[in-house]
Structure 1
Amino acid sequence: MNLDRLNPVMLITGAASGLSAAAARHFARRAQGGLILVDADEAGLETAADAIENPPERVSTLAFDIGDRERWAQATDFIRGQYGRLDYAIVDASAAQSAVTVTDGDLITWTSTGHEHIALTLRALTQLMRSNGQGGAIVVIGLAGAADVLRAAALDGASSNVRINAANQGVAPIWRNAPLFQDLIRSERDERRAFKALSALPNSLARYEGHLFELIGQLLSDDCPATGATLVVDGGYAL
Structure 2
Amino acid sequence: MRIPRIYHPESLSSATHIQLCDDAAGHIGRVLRMQVGQAISLFDGSNVEYSAVITEVSKKNVAVEIQDSKQHNVESPLDIHLGQVVSRGDKMEFTIQKSVELGVNTITPLISERCGVKLDQKRFEKKLQQWQKIAIAACEQSGRNTVPVIRPIMPLEQWCQEEYQGLKLNLHPRAPYSINTLPQPITEVKLLIGPEGGLSESEIDMTTEYNFEQTLLGPRVLRTETAALTAITALQVRFGDLG
**TM-score, reference length from structure 2:** 0.38
User: Quick check: which one's helix share is greater?
Assistant: 1
User: Quick check: which one's strand share is greater?
Assistant: 2
